[in-house]
Structure 1
Amino acid sequence: MLFKIDAETSTRPAGRIRQKNESIILRAAEIEFASSGYKGASMNDIAQRAGLPKANIHYYFKNKLGLYMAVISDIIALWDSTLNAITPEDDPGEVLSRYIARKVCFSVENPLASRIFAAELVNGAPNMKEYFREDYAQWFRGRTDVFGAWVSQGKIDPEVTPEHLIFLLWSSTQHYADFAVQIKAALGKDELDEQDYLNATATLTHIILKGCGISR
């Protein structure tokens, strides 16, 4: 051998190439699933949209369902990360304000994935049966336990039910991605601008904090 290949160095290009290709495939899949639905989308169409051979798609994602779940998992991971680390010792005003701002931001940055998730749920979540199992219920109970602790500590008004507060947070923030067409039509705009999202964030934050009895 004329030279020795450093193992770590030699894997870096492959790692970068893999990340790049997976990102291209996921973005193409988002567009295809959002426009055609799960049943209407095909791996061939996704490959053409990604500008990659179909064999490459199957190299990174075994089948259409695996690719579909990867698209949905990406947005769920982003959403869940906003509440994963909360504790009873946290200030709910800060937590809720940060959550609302980030969720509205996700609606701007990941609207297609949010709509794919919404369409899946509207259709009874046929491809997400495994996701909505005990692990999901445990995660949700962990969040409601923290919200319940805030109620017990007097940080949130006792009339507020933790479960339904979380449902309100989900629906109000995701509305700006899932029903963007309706919002744009109501406002008479072709596209929403930054100020629209800032106004949405400020309004939701004010109403939700005030409804929880939280002073800022």
Structure 2
Amino acid sequence: MSSIRERNKQLILRAASEEFAEKGFAATKTSDIAAKAGLPKPNVYYYFKSKENLYREVLESIIEPLLAASAPFNRDGHPYHVLRDYIRSKIRISRELPHASKVFASEIMHGAPHLSAEQIEQLNAQANHNIACIQRWVDQGLMARIDPRHLLFSIWAATQTYADFDWQISVVTGKARLDDSDYETAAETIIRLVLKGCEVAEPESEEQVQSA
């Protein structure tokens, strides 16, 4: 029974992510979510109680991966490796969770009315931690003297665009759907721009990594 419950919840969450991403919170109907999930409408209320709760669950489903993407900053490391791993994690989110990513972007653009104070604090604390790491590397001379906040904003914009602006990307590339090689090329391009632009050199020894 529990496996059926989890399966149904995941079907509803996936359908809700697509509907909220396409129509926004206000215009989305629970009946449309149920139809896309292939389940009766009462199931949506049985599992999530309300459209508001379901929307918050969709947001939660993307917040956890966003925080997890910063894992490279949470351990000692050289900017060459940390920034590479972070960019790859962010691209992976755009590839694997494009609809939830769009919902999150829309939520932020509207002033984050549905995010809890705790979620906002988590996201802000992680961002400030990442900024402090970048500033330390700048102070150590491991990268160019750039503003760490705007570097972080630029990485967010460059990686998240592959989820939020997929229609435009499809038109320009002539592809209905990007494949793994496209995302790999995107990651490598952004990594090259960031590392070269910030003058981050690959460490020559383990000692350089440990001293970062």
2:30, 2:41 within 8 Å by CA — same for their partners in 1? Answer: yes
2:70, 2:126 within 8 Å by CA — same for their partners in 1? Answer: no
In the alignment, structure 1 segments of 5+ residues that lack a partner are: 1-12
Q: What is the identity, as a one-letter code, of the residue corresponding to 1:22?
A: K
- Pairing 1:93–2:73 present: no
Partner of 2:56: 69
- Pairing 1:179–2:179 present: no
Partner of 2:27: 40
2:28 and 2:96 map into 1 onto residues whose CA distance is 22
State the identity as a percent. Answer: 39
Shift of 1:199: 1.6
1:31 and 1:88 map into 2 onto residues whose CA distance is 34
- Pairing 1:169–2:155 present: yes
Q: 1:38 to 1:47 in 2, by over 3 A?
A: same
2:72, 2:82 within 8 Å by CA — same for their partners in 1? Answer: no
2:70, 2:130 within 8 Å by CA — same for their partners in 1? Answer: yes
SS at match of 2:31: helix
- Pairing 1:112–2:99 present: yes
RMSD (Å), alpha carbons: 2.1
2:75 and 2:68 map into 1 onto residues whose CA distance is 17
Partner of 2:176: 190
With 96-105 and 145-154 compared, the bigger mean Cα shift is at: 145-154
Structure 1 residues 129-208: aligned runs within 5 Å: 130=117, 133-157=120-144, 159-208=145-194
Taking structure 2 as the reference length, what is the TM-score of the superposition? 0.85
In the alignment, structure 2 segments of 5+ residues that lack a partner are: 203-212
Taking structure 1 as the reference length, what is the TM-score of the superposition? 0.83
